[in-house]
Amino acid sequence: MAISNANRSYWLMVTPVERGELDGGRHFATWEDPHPKPSYLFALVAGNLHSVEDHFTTMSGRNITLQIWVEKDNLDKTEHAMASLKRAMVWDEQAYGREYDLDLFMIVAVNDFNMGAMENKGLNIFNSAAVLTHPQTATDAAFQNVEGIVAHEYFHNWSGNRVTCRDWFQLSLKEGFTVFRDQCFSADTNSAPVKRIQDVSFSVRHSLLRMLAPRRTLFALTTLLKLPTSTP
């Protein structure tokens, strides 16, 4: 795939092959994407972003370049996310025998991304709140949350991307298995009993919300429409 543009922004995509200058102040970049994928996993990012780079050696000895691309003011908040990514890569090799299958893995964090994070193949896209931390401003819970989200999106490389859904009726299977994997990772990396308590607490809270949802929705609608409510 080749794209050209007049802006001096960075183009990010999987496996860059070539980039250079064109006439008229334009520049271009060409990528090769070797793995078939459903359309929802395709991503391309262009913007005035800056990167932090590290490297990871896989269990077969391959060298993987790791990059986290952020807005300039957030460069000092990427250290924990990078360390979390490398821990997740080690764990996936040891627990599942799954080695990363490209030469480059990128995370992009922007302040106005409308989701928490997305597992696009080789180019995970995050809202800044889900990946950036700083020791002077973030809580322990925030550090743990970022570690879990970074791991979850990386684990999707195999459970969801390479091995993907037959159709959207399998969405819960793809997400459920990857959630199970990130829960096991967090339990192994931190405290298994504490992680279990957190997961049960989360399930109980959301079960209660689902039970209360019909009554809350009715109350909201009747308030909005100013209709009389009846009590059972």
Q: What is the CATH number of the domain that holds 41?
A: 1.10.390.10
Asked, for residue 195, whether it belongs to a domain, the answer is yes
User: Each residue of 3-18: pLDDT tens digit?
Assistant: 445 454 455 555 566 7
Q: Is residue 228 part of a domain?
A: no
Q: Does the annotation mark 153 as catalytic?
A: yes
Does a structural domain hold residue 39?
yes
pLDDT at 9: 47
Task: Tell me if 192 is assigned to some domain.
Answer: yes
**pLDDT band at 227, cuts 50/70/90?**
very low
Mean pLDDT value of segment 147-169: 93
Per-residue model confidence (pLDDT) at position 7: 52
Q: What is the span of the domain harbouring residue 206?
A: 2-210
Answer yes or no: is 222 within a domain: no
Instruction: Assess whether pLDDT exceeds 60 at residue 2.
Output: no
Total number of domains constituting the chain = 1
Q: Indicate whether 30 belongs to any domain.
A: yes
Phi, psi of 29 (to 5 degrees): -145, 145
Distance of CA 203 to the CA centre of its chain: 22
Which of the residues 18, 71, 153, 175 is marked catalytic? 153
Question: Mean pLDDT across the stretch 149-171?
Answer: 92
Q: Is residue 225 part of a domain?
A: no
Cα atoms found within 13 Å of the Cα of residue 49, Cβ hemisphere only:
20
Count CA within 13 A, CB hemisphere, residue 187.
14
Cα 47 from Cα 42, distance rounded (Å): 17
Q: Does residue 183 lie in a domain region?
A: yes
